[in-house]
């Protein structure tokens, strides 16, 4: 395996005081794997470490790469993982940008628990970013513009069942991902791509009647038009910071597994 190069050779602790329990937050993307450690308030206490995602990455290679990636990070008590696909009870149902056939049914949370020796919770990456971005009031939608397109939907802070908006028809017989993903941006250029994003916002407004739409992902920086007042850009760090909400304890008997008050 090639040596891993991260954004910092050794993760540096943040200057502010922090308290545990500490959460290792991992963000799995189609082009990059990122990790940091969060304190009990969801603040990053280390610099983020990053490595490129191996192309058409099979499960065993991903787990091995993540173990090497997080090795320089300080102590953590538990692990939150954002994954670019549908996750159900810790198992992968879809992984379109990692190599679908090798991933279906893979028990990612169990594999990482065994590799890292800590309890692990896994959720769709856009849902984790959504938990980090939303206010918890009204109908809120999050989309991420990256290798593909991620989406998350919440009402009064409660996540809905995950919907694969990326693979739903959007325009000209193509899906949202085909029209708005990284490959489309590179093919048609920023001007046409921006017009497509504007149309997608209008379509989502009609579809969901959102109170607020949040846009994140690595390609959000390519947006060049003025956003409506109820559409906001959010930091990509929320893809990790939102992981703290996977560990917020609920009252006994609560069915709200992932909810932001």
Q: Which residue has the higher pLDDT, 171 or 16?
A: 171
Q: Dump pLDDT digits (tens) for 39-61.
A: 998 999 999 999 999 988 899 99
% of residues, the chain, pLDDT over 70: 88
Range 201-225 average pLDDT: 96
92, pLDDT greater than 80: yes
Residue 8 pLDDT level (bands cut at 50, 70, 90): very low
74, pLDDT greater than 70: yes
Range 72-96 average pLDDT: 93
- At CB < 8 A and 24+ separation, what contacts does 89-97 make? 90/120, 90/121, 90/122, 92/59, 94/164, 96/148, 96/166, 96/167, 96/177, 97/30, 97/147, 97/148
% of residues, the chain, pLDDT over 90: 71
Range 120-131 average pLDDT: 93
Range 56-81 average pLDDT: 95
Domains parsed from the chain with CATH numbers: 23-125 (3.30.420.40), 128-238 (3.30.420.40)
The total of other beta-carbon atoms located within 10 Å of residue 188's CB is 14
- The pTM (predicted TM-score) of the whole model is 0.84
Name the percent of the chain in helix, strand, coil, to the closest 5: 30, 25, 45
Q: Dump pLDDT digits (tens) for 214-261.
A: 999 989 999 999 999 999 999 888 888 889 999 986 544 444 556 655
């Amino acid at each position: 395996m090639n040596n891993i190069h991260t954004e910092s050779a050794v993760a540096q602790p943040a200057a502010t005081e922090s308290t545990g329990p500490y959460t290792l937050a991992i963000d799995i993307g189609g082009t990059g794997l990122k990790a940091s450690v969060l304190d009990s308030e969801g603040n990053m206490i280390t610099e983020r470490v990053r490595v490129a995602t191996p192309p058409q990455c099979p499960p065993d290679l991903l787990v091995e790469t993540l173990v090497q990636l997080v090795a320089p990070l300080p102590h953590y008590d538990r692990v939150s993982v954002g994954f670019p696909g549908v996750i159900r009870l810790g198992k992968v149902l879809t992984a379109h940008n990692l190599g679908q056939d090798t991933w279906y049914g893979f028990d990612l949370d169990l594999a990482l628990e065994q590799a890292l020796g800590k309890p692990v919770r896994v959720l769709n990456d856009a849902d984790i970013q959504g938990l980090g971005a939303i206010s918890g009031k009204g109908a809120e939608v999050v989309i991420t513009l990256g290798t593909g397109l991620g989406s998350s939907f919440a009402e009064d802070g409660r996540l809905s069942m995950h919907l694969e908006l990326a693979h739903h028809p959007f325009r000209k017989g193509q899906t949202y991902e085909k029209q708005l993903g990284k490959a489309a941006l590179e093919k048609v250029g920023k001007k046409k791509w921006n017009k497509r994003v504007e149309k997608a916002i209008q379509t989502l407004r009609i579809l969901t009647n959102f109170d607020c739409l949040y846009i994140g992902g690595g390609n959000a920086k390519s947006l060049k038009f003025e956003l409506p007042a109820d559409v906001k850009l959010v930091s990509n760090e929320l893809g990790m910071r939102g992981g703290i909400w996977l560990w917020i304890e609920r009252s006994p008997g609560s069915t709200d597994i992932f909810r932001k008050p």
